[in-house]
Structure 1
Amino acid sequence: MAPYDSDSDDGDDAASYTETNVLLGYAAEEPSDDTISYLGGTPSWINDETLPSATLAKCKVCNDFMVLLLQLNADLPEQFPGHERRLYIFTCRRKTCRRKEGSVRVLRSSRTFAAPKKVVPKKEEVEEKPKVNIGETLFGSKGSSSGNANPFSMGGAGGKENPFSTGVKAGGSSHNSSNPFAKPTPSEPPEAKDLPQTFAEKLNINNPQQTHGPPPPSVPWPEQSSFPTPYPKLYLVDADYEILDRTPEIAQNITVGTMDIESEGASGGKEDKEVFESEIDKTFQKFADRIGCNPEQVLRYEFVGAPLLYSKKDAVGKMFSEGKGKGGGMPRCGNCGRERVFECQLMPHAIMELERDEMGVDGMEWGTVVVGVCKGDCVQNFVKEGEVGWMEEWVGVQWEDVGR
């Protein structure tokens, strides 16, 4: 993490903030440049002719169709050159299915083109290449250009790669999108000379399966009228790398799910803080304090990162706190056997955004929704080059602790 220098003339302010590697997404009714990544609404596809089996959109508890919570453009050109990726989080709207395993599901769609061969330039031709900004690639954010730049300013170029962005419009035409959530269909893979060595090359995580067999039976995706009423559609915009106060105060009036946390915070003394800490779970306090620095965040993104846990007492919390390696104890990919890694998580403010027009308080009850994906972005062996493959990925739901 690099120190964040504010625009203030006070030199002490520069040392009081830090920038993390986590990209934060926020919700808005209107998109910036990206129309691919959003909360609610109905799903859109990489290829309208290759849809997932309808069974993947059914609740495992009641077998009814679910609604979309999140659609995310998840292109990662550095890790997976030539891959198009999208993530979809679905949830059941039935009250009787809440807090039950299988009432939230995650799908990943991937289309893979042949990765170009790596061209090794002569020593005298090697030039230092600028780093890819993940914020620009994924979210369309400019990020911070140096330790002295304000990362919330959209004017500087960042040094991290943003997996949400794209530079090609549907149909193959290029465009200069500054929003990394925007994701077009590339007509052909990028030139080999433009690609640095990727994680896939270094770790040999390309899908080794070579044979192609017939796909299993698939249930056609139904008309939208077969689904429950969707949540309102809200676009993901203004992604920035997370900025934290090095000495954060206890969060004030932070809403987590349907629960409010009220604390004296800055106005209270040391005694108030000690009493508060003794009365709540420390992991939850860290969770509340962390999101209190950026309370309107709806999404946290860090491929091969670590989730911000709502609790360490439930099954998901124990899995990550006791698990070893980047996978944090998540089950391995059921298709290729590789390790799964954390990619993103939905945050409580997403509930407020999605349910803001609904009457009453009888809504969703999760604290966070954690998504783990195959580290190799594999597809089934019957999916040919250029075709779209569908995989169900791992999701861990940490439900709101109503007794807290």
Structure 2
Amino acid sequence: MAAKAVKTSPEVALGFLEEAESWQLLSDQFPSKVGGRPAWLRQVDLPTVSELQCEKCKLPTVSLLQVYAPVTEYDRCFHRTLFVFCCKTPACYTRNDNKCFKVFRCQLPRKNDFYPFDPPSDEKPDHAVDEHQVLKSGLKLCRLCGCLGQKACSRCHSVTYCSKEHQTIDWKHRHKKECSNEASQTSEELNSFLFPEWELVTEPEELPATDEEHHESHSLDQESTACLNNDLEDSELESMAFHETQDAKVFQKFKKRIANDPQQVLRYCKGGSPLWVSAEHVPRDEEVPECPCGAKRLFEFQIMPQLLNHLKVDRTDASIDWGTVAIYTCADSCDQDTKYSAEFIWKQDFSGDQTV
């Protein structure tokens, strides 16, 4: 007889990728999505170029994903989106180092200057607004990545960029011909630079109610105890063996938990705990900084390694990589001048030869 499925506690929502029409991923649809250009929530006061720079190579990061996550108990969070950016330079992805990631929180009350009071229609609008270069507020965006663009082409002044680097990339691949009237302004998008764009949909995690996890935990505990009781003269070797056992236990728990839904690319559990891939490099409470408002930061969601399979980042020499990326946000979801507030990311890599 099949085991009855039960919901976990606290409830975890799993994120999966689905194809969507481009208009469904624009700002006024309040999307959760992966890749493409950001669908900005607040139409002014965007993160600056310096705020979006990779802390290692100093190049601009690009949109990895965004999660629409309102907080119903606060009117100021009627609309609320978390934006995650990452560097595209593989060499910046050193072990257990989060300096190649950025995350920002933005929120708005239901009554605001940018969106109607009522929810958006589920039907395709007659005229979808192209917000890839200019927002409704009039703010100009980088033609390549969709972030704040304050550098205009000195020749035609018709397109803007966030940085010299992105202007150079677009010039080589597209804009050089446009500027000399050799190509139409509606030429094909430079999709290869951005991550592929997908809608991010969520559903509650359900796991079969079995006692396998208990038996597995008991077995691993016995192994760990045996390791500790082994009368080794070399204490360093004993410590290493214990650590390897603990690491194996954490990794097996990770693999077992995702086995029912192997395509999950995100796990959302605000105020819960991440599903770590290793016993190494797990943050202590004091390693997660408080919000500038003074409130603690709590875990909100994590990005899974399965997402890498959809980003087209594999290379023979080096590649963008991670075990899991955990996002921590202000427990009070404070309103810092209603701008885009930087939050905290913790990157954890696999240890040894672990693979999902």
Hey, what's the Cα distance between the residues in 2 that align with 1:344 and 1:294?
16
- How does the TM-score come out when normalised to structure 2? 0.63
For 1:361 and 1:241, how far apart are their aligned partners in 2? Answer: 38
TM-aligned CA deviation for residue 108 of structure 1: 1.1
The equivalent position to 2:298 in structure 1, one of 329, 333, 341, is 341
The change in CA–CA distance for 1:31 and 1:304 in structure 2 (over 3 A counts) is: farther
Q: Letter of the aligned partner of 2:20 in structure 1?
A: E
CA distance in structure 2 between the aligned counterparts of 1:71 and 1:220, rounded to whole angstroms: 17
Secondary structure, counterpart of 1:230 in structure 2: coil
Answer yes or no: is 1:299 the counterpart of 2:289. Answer: no
Change (3 A) 1:82 1:76: closer
CA contact (8 A) 1:28 1:234 kept: yes
Matched, 1:174 2:138: no
| Contact 2:302–2:325 (8 Å) recurs in 1 | yes
Contact 1:371–1:394, Cα closer than 8 Å, also in 2: yes
1:108 lines up with 2:108 in the alignment? no
Unaligned runs of 5+ in 1: 1-9, 116-168, 179-218, 251-269
Query: Do structure 1's residue 86 and structure 2's residue 81 form an aligned pair?
Result: yes
The 8 Å contact of residues 379 and 390 in structure 1, kept in 2 or not, is answered as no
Which piece of structure 1 moves more, 74-83 or 39-48?
Answer: 74-83
- The separation in 1 between residues aligned to 2:60 and 2:148, in whole angstroms, is 13
- 1:28 partnered with 2:23: no
- Deviation, 1:231, is 0.7
Larger Rg: 2
Deviation by residue 1:105-156 (Cα, 9 ceiling, x = unmatched): 11111234689xxxxxxxxxxxxxxxxxxxxxxxxxxxxxxxxxxxxxxxxx
Deviations along 1:226-263, one digit per CA (max 9) or x if unpaired, are 547211111112x211111233879xxxxxxxxxxxxx
Identity of aligned residues (%): 29
The equivalent of 2:351 in structure 1 is 401
- Amino acid in the other structure paired with 1:305: G
Q: Work out whether 1:281 is the aligned partner of 2:248.
A: yes
Distance 1:82 1:111 in 2: 6
Give the alignment of 1:108-187 within 5 angstroms: 108-112=105-109, 170-175=115-120
Tell me which of 65, 70, 73 is aligned to 1:70.
65
Of residues 301, 312, 322, the one that matches 1:355 is: 312
What residue is the counterpart of 2:238 in the other structure?
none
Alpha-carbon RMSD across the aligned residues, in angstroms, is 3.5
Judging changes above 3 Å, is the alpha-carbon distance between structure 1 residues 298 and 34 closer, same or farther for their aligned structure 2 residues? farther
State the partner residue of 1:308.
275
Q: Tell me, in whole angstroms, the C-alpha distance in 2 between the residues paired with 1:234 and 1:303.
A: 23
Inter-partner Cα distance in structure 2 for 1:32 and 1:78: 31
For residues 231 and 302 of structure 1, the distance between their equivalents in structure 2, rounded to whole angstroms, comes to: 25
Structure 1 residues 243-392: aligned runs within 5 Å: 243-247=206-210, 281-314=248-281, 317-319=282-284, 323=285, 330-334=288-292, 336-355=293-312, 360=316, 362-380=318-336, 383=337, 388-392=338-342
Q: Give 1 or 2: higher helix fraction.
A: 2
1:32 Cα deviation (Å)? 11
Where 2:107 maps in the other structure, the secondary structure is strand
- Give the distance between the partners of 1:18 and 1:109, measured in 2 at CA: 30
Q: For the residues of structure 1 that align with 2:330 and 2:75, how far apart are their CA atoms? A: 12
2:194 maps to 1:230: yes
User: SS at the partner of 2:106?
Assistant: strand
Aligned to 2:323, the other structure's residue is in SS state strand
CA deviation profile, 1:133-191 (whole Å, cap 9, x unmatched): xxxxxxxxxxxxxxxxxxxxxxxxxxxxxxxxxxxx9444435769xxxxxxxxxxxxx
Secondary structure of the residue aligned to 1:54 is coil
Residue 29 (structure 1) shift: 2.1
Aligned with 2:307: secondary structure? helix
Quote the Cα distance in structure 1 between the aligned partners of 2:84 and 2:321. 16
Point out the more displaced range, 41-50 or 299-308: 41-50
Change (3 A) 1:303 1:101: closer
Q: Is the 8 A contact 1:82 1:114 kept in 2?
A: no
Q: How many residues align?
A: 260
1:56 alignment partner, SS class: coil
Q: Is 2:227 the counterpart of 1:241?
A: no
